[in-house]
Amino acid sequence: MNGTDNQTENCNVLNIYSPGESPVSAAFLTVALVHCYGVVVFGTLGNTLALWCVGTCTKTRRPVKVLLFSVFLPALVVCLATRPVIGEIRIALLTCDIHRVSVVVVQINMVVYNILAQIELTAIAAVAVVRAVSVWAPQRQALGLRGTVVLVTAICVYSILTGLGVLVMVVTDEMDHLRILVTVLFFINTTLPALITAGAYVLMIYILQRNKRRLAASQHQQREATTMDQATRAMLAVFISNLVFGLPHSIYHLMGKQPHFMNILFHVLFSTHFVMDPLAFVWFNSCYRRRVFSRMKKVTQSLSSVPTSSFLHASSVSPSDHHLHHHDSDPKEENVC
């Protein structure tokens, strides 16, 4: 342990540490590394699950599906593509392996991550605004597929341009000289979407409470209001998760240049939302939650029936055993499962 700490103290892979900056301890790097690969595994599973729920839901309109895909698909790619590179950087710092990760790979990973994270945050704000408009003016025509595609395309183009802009500043080593511009950019890209989302949900909750009696005037409208609350509740859970794990990250980027320890700490906190967002989204939508539990139950039953069937087949040497095997293969029971 002491040897690793000493090695870390004398190591400055990729020139991560500023002159005179104390290196991050090996213990903290190890915790951050474990967390990073936890995000890779559970973030991939969670976002895949959310995408499956949205993609296979017959009640969700296609424009809404496009918007929700623009939230969870970038998060999935972040977990699969960019987190492993971050893990490699932390291993390089732990082992003081200067050849483990190249500067070019780190820069490409940073750009891809910035673009995808920006798309996700802006898409969450867009979903909140679209939901707020639909609650504010239910008689207004809902956003169509073409309009949704245009909106998502605009979000992607903006995110790509800002991501490339950050890359230019990093490559030309202008980040420190353009600190005010960088701060403004991070405010627009990280803090502003959170403020827009918060405003949209405050407005939505206020309108829902005000119109609760009006929406419950008829049985049909009551069912419609319940469905609306269901979708709002699920995305509200995503926003709260983003607020808890993302707001400190936004504040960190408004604080100017900080030691690498702070960078790791706030990005560990922020990257947790790539796991919590999809899980909160599925859990707080009771329709999705029931479908997931039902599918898990079917998979568990099918897996448990395989060894049972094999055992009964192998042990069918007596008439009584043959009768038991025949009983367990009842077609009615198979249809129920």
From first to last of the 337 residues of the chain, give the pLDDT tens digit.
454 555 555 678 888 888 888 899 999 999 999 999 999 999 999 999 999 999 998 888 899 999 999 999 999 999 999 999 999 999 999 998 888 999 999 999 999 999 999 999 999 999 999 888 888 887 787 789 999 999 999 999 999 999 888 888 877 777 767 778 888 888 998 889 989 998 988 888 888 777 776 655 554 544 444 444 566 778 888 888 988 898 899 888 888 788 999 999 999 999 999 999 999 999 999 889 999 998 888 888 888 876 655 555 555 544 444 443 444 444 333 332 2
Residue pointed to by tokens 């405010």: 187
Looking at residue 8, its pLDDT comes to 52
- Grouping H, G, I as helix, E, B as strand and the rest as coil, residue 18 is coil
Task: Report d(CA 93, CA 16) in Å as an integer.
Answer: 9
At 267, list the tokens: 């990005």
Q: Which two tokens stand for residue 124?
A: 């969450």
pLDDT value for 303: 84
State the greatest distance between any 2 C-alpha atoms of the chain, in Å, as a whole number: 86
Q: For residue 175, what are its two tokens? A: 């980040």
pLDDT at 336: 28
With contact defined as beta carbons under 8 Å apart, do 247 and 16 qualify?
Answer: no
Eight-state DSSP code of residue 144:
-
pTM: 0.81
d(Cα 59, Cα 233) in Å, to the nearest integer?
16
Angle at 54 between CA 51 and CA 59, to 5 degrees: 170
- As a whole number of angstroms, the distance between CA 79 and CA 72 comes to 11
